[in-house]
Copies of this chain bind each other. A is one copy, B any other.
Amino acid sequence: MPTPLNGIRVVDLTRILSGPFCTMLLGDMGADVVKVEAPGEGDPIRHAGAAVEGLSWYFAAFNRNKRSVVLDLRAPEGREVLAGLLGQADVLVENFRPGVLAEMGFDDARLQALNPRLVVASINGYGASGPYADRPAFDFVIQAMSGFMSVNGKPDDAPLRSGLPITDLVAGLYAAFGIVNALHARHHTGRGQRVEAAMMNGIMSMFAYLASDYLATGVSPVRCGNDHPITAPYGLFHTADGVIAVAPSTEAILRRFLRELALEHVLEDTRFQTNNLRMRNRADLDALINAQLQSDGQENWVRRLNKAGVPCGLVQDIGQALSDPQVLHQEMVVEMEHPGHGPVRMLGFPVKLSDTPCQLRYPAPPHGAHTQQVLQDWNIAAATLQTTSVTTE
């Protein structure tokens, strides 16, 4: 079956999370991803997270559809092989601090000389230029600096980080988007180019109305917990046996919600006639809603309200979400045999393409397992091969 990025060769110098996520997305779309790792330990994620039969499932998930080549980039021979790979590649992805790749001998001029069709993608914290370009970056700090934490949490509490390392993942996805756009541009220009995705820029691009409202008014949005800043009712409500999340996002949906609760008359109550009034008397209206919800359990309310066209759901933990029949139907949990480690379960593909779907082609590679194979596949000169005595685990 064909894949969108069939034939696209990616040299992946990234480690940890955002870079490997980017190249996983490319690999899922069919690119030939060669993960270059240092001798010794390799990507530190090989030893992070929960392991089963000696294999990190975190590493397994984010490095599927890749082959591993071990190169010592501190040694001239390793760099020579890298130059050979780059000469054959379509894409280079790196998440070093800005400047490190050039220090290794691969500045723009060298890369251009090696391969003018190469797309060179960098993922970093704050961007490769500007006053913070040299700062080390980490998801938690970017969440703080970007403003994300300032709007996450309850009004009277401290700013709160997201439970997910969201700035890493968003940056990785943006990098993948930029890379495929650069490959598209190459159809017209015949040339590669630089692509850059910074964690800070990526998460800030997701501020939506929070950013536009600040820019329009000069007033920064504040934390408001689970209460929507401009809509009521909205939030978590209490049924006979647990909480449900309800978001009546328009006046029409609100009317359906209240009708289902036999509360439609409250819209004639002078406390609740407009959204502004409902915001002011939110607690009173929530109490009326919670009282009516006591007549049934959460599963039934979720079914009834959704059927009535009211967005509504359970508050699931990660295990419940990953066992949810809809999530399983969408194949968001997939399983692959890892030789020597048994079957590994991992997240599936978030984008579905009907004719050239993402595919699980091979499991995450043992450290250096494909060094010889890749150099042969990619026609790296035998002379170079001989100077590189590579070891595999």
Contacts and interface: CB of A to CB of B under 8 A. Distances in A.
Nearest to A318: B147
Contacts of A127: 326, 329-330, 352
A58 interface: yes
Contact of A147 (B60, B205, B321): B321
A218 interface: yes
Contacts of A129: 329-330
Interface string A241-255: 001011101100100
Contacts of A136: 253, 306, 309-311
Nearest to A164: B206
A130 interface: yes
A183 B188 CA distance: 13
A376 interface: no
Contact of A160 (B143, B154, B314): B154
A193 B163 contact: no
B177 A163 contact: no
Contact of A321 (B138, B146, B223): B146
Given A150-B315, A313-B144, A317-B220, A58 B164 contact: no
B326 A126 contact: yes
A33 interface: no
Contacts of A61: 211-212
Closest 8 CB pairs of A and B: A151-B163, A130-B329, A144-B245, A147-B321, A138-B311, A194-B354, A50-B216, A178-B351
A388 interface: no
A160 B205 contact: no
Interface string A171-182: 001111110111
Nearest to A168: B208
Nearest to A157: B154
B177 A176 contact: yes
Nearest to A17: B208
Nearest to A211: B347
Contact of A50 (B217, B315, B320, B352): B217
Given A131-B329, A181-B5, A216-B51, A245 B157 contact: no
B247 A214 contact: no
A96 to B, nearest CB: 14
B353 A6 contact: no
Contact of A215 (B188, B214, B250, B333): B333
Contacts of A182: 4, 353, 356
Interface stretch (A70-78, A98-106, A196-204, A366-374): A196-204
A165 B221 CA distance: 13
B325 A228 contact: no
